Structures are given as structure tokens and as C-alpha cells.
């Protein structure tokens, strides 16, 4: 539809000096401004925070659409230069990571148990059966068989490496072969532990873990039988970590090696990094409902001492999906959609305005990255309503 523009000329081409046309002209301008504001609200509701628009705007021959002083935007802001981050948050649990169940495999009666929170290092007893120790050794491969002369494999090498670290390595070569020299070293070790000197390591006598362990909870008690793989206790590592779960739709946030901020209960923030990311299936919460797929991220703290006084807590993990440094930005609400396509901003210069076409980049936290010919930091732009 063609717009009808009022002029100051009468029917015969002479200026019309009566006040009525001037009143109609101002009214027309007010209606146009109001019409544009209504369109802004409609588009914002339709597209959400990722983009806003006002239509009915176009450039003139000089590339701008100028407005008069009586038609200035109702609100204004400045173009600023900053680092823009696309962030999102997820709740997390601060603790010691996942628990590992320790089953009892040495038959007998439990005669000694640790306390929850105890730290156990290499060569020390985790618990005791018939007054003999079940010993912690370091290694990535769990103990799964008896080791004796003729055994070969990575678990043999783990055992020999521990024997050497504990001072029993004289005469042995640390490799994957259990030789007679290995058996002699094991016998010396068994003697010092008060065990029968068999030269072989029975299944269940040692527990391999990557490092020092922390007893998380004790399941069995004194005078109970330890056999047949019944649970004795649960343990964790000693490194403080945060476990966060996210919806699958947010998996872009959780990438191995990604830097995060961890907000503690007192409001302070400490930096961390995503160590591991994997998918977990949460069981259905009620009959007839479906299981839920989640993304679980394990986050380590750059400075574990920052949480030394916190045993466990619910924290907030702030993930950064994208970051653009040193870019020009405006509030998302300052964008207007142009008739010829794309977006622009209404630059205010004294008592007049002009529309500058812009290219949009990252949207984050209510602001948008913009660039365009002649656009610079500190410019005043309008925010239509």
C-alpha cells in the first residue's frame, strides 16, 4: 500500500498556512513511530532473545533513513567495546568424584576397619581379615587374579613396580614376567606384613588404585565375614572435583578441556576445567515414564585449596560455549529489521537519526556483537519500544 504524505501546499500548489495540516502532519509522525514500536514488540515475542526487529524501515539514496527531532527514539544507549561470552549454568556437586566399591575376596573374619574419611597410601592396610592386611598398591589395572611364578601381563608389572617403590626391588626386573626373583621379593614383603611367605599374591590380598584413596563409607563391620565378593567399603580418590549434569541440548557447553567458573555457596567463584564428559542414563522417575539421557561433566579445580574447608556442597558451574574478544556490542533490543533485509541500528546524531546497516555476530547475555561501515565505539543508538 502506498503511503500518503501530507505537505504544506493546498489544492492549487500554494502553501496552506492553516494550522490543521500541521496538526495532521505531527499526528502522522506520531502514528508512524507508534506503529513501529508495536511491530518491535511483536517480533521480539516471536523470535525471543536471539534476535529482534522493527520493520517498515528502509534506506534512502544516501544509505540512511533520517528521522526528525520530534521522532527520536524513546530510549537510547551507546555502542560499547567488550568481550562477549555465551555462557550457561548447571548445578553441580562438589566432592571427591565417583565411588568405587571394594568387595571382600579374602575369606575370614573382619578384624580391622578404617573410618570414613581416612586416607590410605601405598603399602598400607585398607582393612584386616583374620588380623592380616588387605593392602593398597598403585596401578591402573584392577587386581583380577592370583599372581604367581609364570604369570605374565600388565598386572605383574604393576606389582613389581610397587615392590620396588616399597623397597623390595632388589634383584628383580620390572617387566611383565613373574619370575623366581619376583617370588623372592614377594616373600620378603609378605614376611614384613606378617603373612605366610608363599611367594605368590592371592586374589583379594592387594587392591590396585591409581593413587591414594579416601574411604568414603564403611559397609561391613567388625566380626563380619569377608568373602564371596560382599561389599566391605566404598572409596574415592583424594582430588576435589565437581560433577555436573546437563540436558543433552546443552552438550555444546561441556567439552573436554573447556574452562569454567565454579560458584561456591558463599558466592565466590573459582576457575576449573572439564576433565571428562560422558553420557549417562537416568532411570525413569515413575512407572510409565521414560529414562532420561543426560550429559555428565567432571570438572577439576585449578586451585583445590580454595575449597579445602568444604567437605561437600552443591555449586553452580558456569560454562562458556563461545567467546568473542574486543568486539562492538549493543543491547539486542537496539536491533531493527530493515525492509531490504538484515539488521540495522538507529544512530542518534544531535536532533536527528539515521539507520546504519550492521552485521550481527555472537548473541549473549542480552547483547549482540555488531559491525558495519561507520559504526564505532561510543556512538549513541536508539532502542525502539
Q: Report the pLDDT value the prediction gives residue 69, as an integer from 0 to 100.
A: 52
Query: Residue 151 domain-assigned?
Result: yes
Query: Residue 35 domain-assigned?
Result: no
- The answer to whether residues 291 and 169 belong to one domain is no
Higher-scoring residue by pLDDT: 55, 312:
312
- The answer to whether residues 232 and 112 belong to one domain is yes
- The answer to whether residues 82 and 165 belong to one domain is no
As a whole number, mean pLDDT of residues 212-236 equals 92
- The answer to whether residues 110 and 193 belong to one domain is yes
- The answer to whether residues 354 and 372 belong to one domain is yes
- The answer to whether residues 168 and 136 belong to one domain is yes
Going by pLDDT thresholds of 50, 70 and 90, the confidence category of residue 61 is: very low
Give the domain range for residue 374.
Answer: 44-87+324-383
Which of the listed ranges 94-103, 195-204, 308-317, 350-359 does the model predict with the highest average pLDDT? 195-204
Share of the chain above pLDDT 70, in %: 82
Which of the listed ranges 53-62, 132-141, 228-237 does the model predict with the highest average pLDDT? 132-141
Higher-scoring residue by pLDDT: 354, 57:
354
Residue 50 pLDDT > 50: no
How high is the mean pLDDT of the chain? 83
- The answer to whether residues 178 and 211 belong to one domain is yes
- The answer to whether residues 229 and 173 belong to one domain is yes
Query: Residue 27 domain-assigned?
Result: no
Q: What is the CATH number of the domain that holds 75?
A: 2.40.420.20
Q: Report the pLDDT value the prediction gives residue 226, as an integer from 0 to 100.
A: 84
Q: Report the pLDDT value the prediction gives residue 66, as an integer from 0 to 100.
A: 53
Domain boundary among 287, 316, 345: 316
Rounded to whole angstroms, the Cα distance separating 23 from 17 reads: 12
- The answer to whether residues 308 and 190 belong to one domain is no
Residue 270 pLDDT > 80: yes
Query: Residue 21 domain-assigned?
Result: no
Residue 67 pLDDT > 60: no
Q: Report the pLDDT value the prediction gives residue 65, as an integer from 0 to 100.
A: 52
What is the tens place of the pLDDT at every residue in 318-354?
Answer: 998 888 999 999 999 999 999 989 999 999 998 899 9
Query: Residue 39 domain-assigned?
Result: no
Residue 255 pLDDT > 50: yes
Residue 91 pLDDT > 70: yes
What is the tens place of the pLDDT at every residue in 126-145?
Answer: 999 999 999 999 999 999 99
What is the tens place of the pLDDT at every residue in 174-209?
Answer: 999 999 999 999 999 999 999 999 999 999 999 999
Strands of the 206-209 sheet, one edge to the other: 110-112, 125-129, 132-138, 206-209
Judged by average pLDDT, the poorest of 148-152, 239-243, 250-254, 374-378 is: 250-254
Q: Which residue has the cell 492553516?
A: 18
Query: Residue 116 domain-assigned?
Result: yes
Residue 238 pLDDT > 80: yes
Q: In the 3-class helix/strand/coil scheme, how is the chain assigned residue by residue?
A: CCCCCCCCECCCCCECCCHHHHHHHHHHHHHHHHHHHHHHHHHHHHHHHHCCCCCCCCCCCCCCCCECHHHCCCEEEECEEEEEEEEEEEEEEEECCCCEEEEECCCCEEEECCCCCCEECCCCEEEEECCEEEEEEECCCCCCCCECCCCECHHHHHHHHHHHHCCCCCCCCCCCECCHHHHHHHHHHHHHHCCCCCCCECCCCEEEECCCEEEEEECCCCCCECCCCEEEEEEECCCCEEEEEEEHHHCCCCCCCCEEEEECCCCCEEEEEEEEEEEEEECCCCCCCCCEEEEEEEEEECCHHHHCCCCCEEEEEEEEEEEEEEEEEEEHHHCEECCCCCEEEEEEECCEEEEEEEEEEEEECCEEEEECCCCCCCCEEEECC
Q: Are 307 and 23 in contact (CB under 8 A)?
A: no
Structural domain total, the chain: 3
Residue 47 pLDDT > 80: no
Query: Residue 174 domain-assigned?
Result: yes
Domain boundary among 274, 289, 316: 316
- The answer to whether residues 230 and 243 belong to one domain is no
Q: What is the CATH number of the domain that holds 263?
A: 2.40.30
Domain boundary among 316, 344, 363: 316
Higher-scoring residue by pLDDT: 128, 239:
128
- The answer to whether residues 115 and 163 belong to one domain is yes
- The answer to whether residues 166 and 49 belong to one domain is no
As a whole number, mean pLDDT of residues 23-39 equals 31
Q: Report the pLDDT value the prediction gives residue 149, as an integer from 0 to 100.
A: 97
Rounded to whole angstroms, the Cα distance separating 114 from 103 reads: 15
Residue 116 pLDDT > 90: yes
Query: Residue 173 domain-assigned?
Result: yes
Residue 3 pLDDT > 80: no
Amino acid at each position: 500500500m502506498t503511503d500518503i504524505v501530507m505537505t504544506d501546499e493546498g489544492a492549487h500548489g500554494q502553501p496552506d498556512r492553516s494550522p490543521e495540516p500541521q496538526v495532521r502532519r505531527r499526528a502522522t509522525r506520531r502514528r508512524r513511530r507508534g506503529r513501529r514500536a508495536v511491530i518491535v514488540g511483536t517480533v521480539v515475542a516471536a523470535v525471543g532473545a536471539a534476535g529482534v526487529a522493527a520493520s517498515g524501515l528502509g534506506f534512502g539514496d544516501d544509505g540512511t533513513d533520517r528521522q526528525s527531532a520530534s521522532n527520536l527514539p524513546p530510549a537510547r544507549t551507546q555502542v560499547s567495546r567488550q568481550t562477549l561470552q555465551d555462557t550457561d549454568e548447571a548445578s553441580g556437586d562438589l566432592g571427591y568424584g565417583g565411588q568405587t566399591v571394594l568387595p571382600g575376596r579374602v575369606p575370614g573374619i573382619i578384624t580391622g576397619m578404617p573410618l570414613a574419611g581416612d586416607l590410605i597410601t601405598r603399602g598400607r592396610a585398607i582393612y584386616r581379615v583374620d588380623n592380616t592386611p588387605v593392602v593398597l598398591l598403585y596401578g591402573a589395572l584392577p587386581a583380577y587374579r592370583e599372581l604367581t611364578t609364570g604369570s605374565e601381563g600388565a598386572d605383574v608389572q604393576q606389582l613389581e613396580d610397587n615392590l620396588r617403590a616399597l623397597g623390595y626391588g632388589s634383584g628383580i626386573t620390572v617387566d611383565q614376567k613373574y619370575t623366581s626373583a619376583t617370588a623372592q621379593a614377594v616373600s620378603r614383603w609378605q614376611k614384613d606384613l606378617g603373612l605366610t611367605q608363599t611367594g605368590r599374591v592371592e586374589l583379594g590380598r592387594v587392591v590396585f588404585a591409581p593413587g591414594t584413596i579416601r574411604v568414603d563409607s564403611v559397609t561391613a563391620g567388625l566380626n563380619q565375614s569377608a568373602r564371596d565378593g560382599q561389599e566391605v567399603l566404598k572409596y574415592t580418590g583424594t582430588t576435589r572435583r565437581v560433577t555436573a549434569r546437563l540436558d543433552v541440548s546443552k552438550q555444546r557447553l561441556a567439552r573436554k578441556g573447556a574452562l569454567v567458573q565454579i560458584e561456591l555457596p558463599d558466592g565466590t567463584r573459582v576457575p576449573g576445567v572439564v576433565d571428562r564428559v560422558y553420557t549417562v542414563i537416568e532411570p525413569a522417575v515413575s512407572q510409565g515414564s521414560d529414562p532420561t539421557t543426560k550429559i555428565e561433566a567432571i570438572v577439576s579445580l585449578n586451585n583445590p585449596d580454595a575449597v579445602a574447608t568444604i567437605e561437600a556442597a552443591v555449586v553452580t558451574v558456569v560454562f562458556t560455549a563461545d567467546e568473542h574478544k574486543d568486539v562492538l556490542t549493543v543491547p539486542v533490543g537496539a536491533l531493527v529489521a530493515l525492509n531490504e533485509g538484515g539488521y540495522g541500528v538507529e544512530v542518534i546524531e544531535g536532533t536527528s537519526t539515521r539507520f546504519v546497516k550492521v552485521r550481527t555476530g555472537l548473541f549473549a547475555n542480552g547483547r549482540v556483537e555488531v559491525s558495519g561501515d561507520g559504526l564505532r565505539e561510543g556512538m549513541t543508538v536508539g532502542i525502539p519500544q
